[in-house]
Amino acid sequence: MKLLKLVPDDTNIKFLKWRVPFFVVSILLIAASWALVMTKGLNYGVDFAGGLEVRATFTERSEAPVAQLRQDVEGLGYGSPVVQRFGEDNQVSIRVRLPDEVAADKDAAQAAANAVVDELKGNYPDFRLDGNDNVSGKVSGEFREDAVFALVAAMLAVALYIWIRFEWQFGVGALFALFHDVSLALGMFALFQLEFSLQIIAAILAIIGYSLNDTIVVYDRIRENLKKYRKMPVPELLDLSVNETLARTVMTSLTLLVALLPLLLIGPASLFGLTAAITLGLFVGTYSSVYMAAPLLIWMGVNSDSFVPEETVADKQERIARGEV
């Protein structure tokens, strides 16, 4: 009895036939993403913008009154807060982004936190404070710098690793693919103004890891085929390599998607941004491995001689002595 295969063994899709239009589309998407980031900006959460977080439990309720809490805190004049359930249904996290001048002043930030707590204690007798944190403007600025450093360092380390394992052209191709994936993720957050916090940085690092994994699988097969099919044109060889790894790519992507979709559709609101970023990264990471990382190898001159060691003078003289030249 034959098992059902999602990708047949004789798959022969001409991916590289459309490499130029897809590459142009990718460049336009990167430009559009950065245009959104520069014009609309990112909706920084408390971690990056400065503000306060109050965690509380409503001891006599089965569910916390999230909508009413949002209205009560917004009435204090600090803007629209983020109120989310976490843990039990009667537990909430209230995050308020403070104005820059308030966030920069420790005493003013503490006064704002006290005002929020006093307001909620007065409105809800069963309100129990579980904790509150203030993030000053200086600390949030340091968080932003550290986050940017982490992303850049991760991408450069990946490029260096691939350069050492393969050739420099492969490192450049992988770095450009990662830049494409990160750019589109940032563009999505700028377009929909989803909250951008430290957990989103973790999601983007996960995107880098997934994209790297997929790219290395494709690159490894390309390297093997470059040694095996010395006479095959490079575009055909790249198509062959992508098709040979397609079954693994599809199964990996579907497995991750099965885990992500429930979180995306019915998961807690506090995880929506994280899940949305990883879900987007699942698709763009697979796409960039085929239409960004692979075509760049053609344009950077990778060929069947790229992994053949250069012949030394002694080797050539030995072949002459044996009459092979």
- Cα–Cα distance measured from residue 180 to residue 175, given in angstroms and rounded to the nearest whole number: 9
3-state secondary structure of 306: coil
Amino acid at 23: F
Architecture per CATH, domain 15-41+140-300, reads as Up-down Bundle (1.20)
Pick the closest to residue 269 from 185, 201, 199, 186 (CA basis): 199
Angstrom CA distances, 239 to 18, 97, 126, 171, 299, stand at 11, 50, 64, 20, 15
- Cα–Cα distance measured from residue 237 to residue 78, given in angstroms and rounded to the nearest whole number: 59
- The fold adopted by the segment(s) 51-135 is Alpha-Beta Plaits (3.30.70)
Residues in CB range of 277: below 8 A, 6 or more apart: 185, 188, 189, 200, 203, 204, 207
What secondary structure, in 3-state letters, does 153-215 show?
Answer: HHHHHHHHHHHHHCCHHHHHHHHHHHHHHHHHHHHHHHHHCCEECHHHHHHHHHHHHHHHHHH
- Cα–Cα distance measured from residue 207 to residue 187, given in angstroms and rounded to the nearest whole number: 14
Domain assignments of the chain as residue spans, ordered by start: 15-41+140-300, 51-135
Are residues 268 and 85 in contact, defined by beta-carbon separation less than 8 angstroms? yes
- Cα–Cα distance measured from residue 226 to residue 304, given in angstroms and rounded to the nearest whole number: 5
Residues in CB range of 263: below 8 A, 6 or more apart: 271, 275
pLDDT by 10s per residue, the chain, length 325: 344 566 666 777 888 888 889 999 999 999 999 999 999 988 887 777 777 888 888 888 888 888 888 888 888 877 677 787 777 788 888 888 776 666 667 777 778 888 888 888 888 888 888 887 776 666 667 778 888 888 888 888 887 888 887 778 888 888 888 899 999 999 999 999 888 888 898 899 899 888 888 888 888 888 888 888 888 888 888 888 888 888 888 888 888 999 999 988 888 777 888 999 999 999 998 899 888 888 888 888 777 665 555 544 455 456 556 554 4
Run of H or E residues at 279: helix 272-288
Asked if the domains 15-41+140-300 and 51-135 are classified in one and the same CATH topology, the answer is no
- Cα–Cα distance measured from residue 204 to residue 195, given in angstroms and rounded to the nearest whole number: 14
Q: 105: which 2 tokens?
A: 């002043």
- What pTM did the predictor assign? 0.76
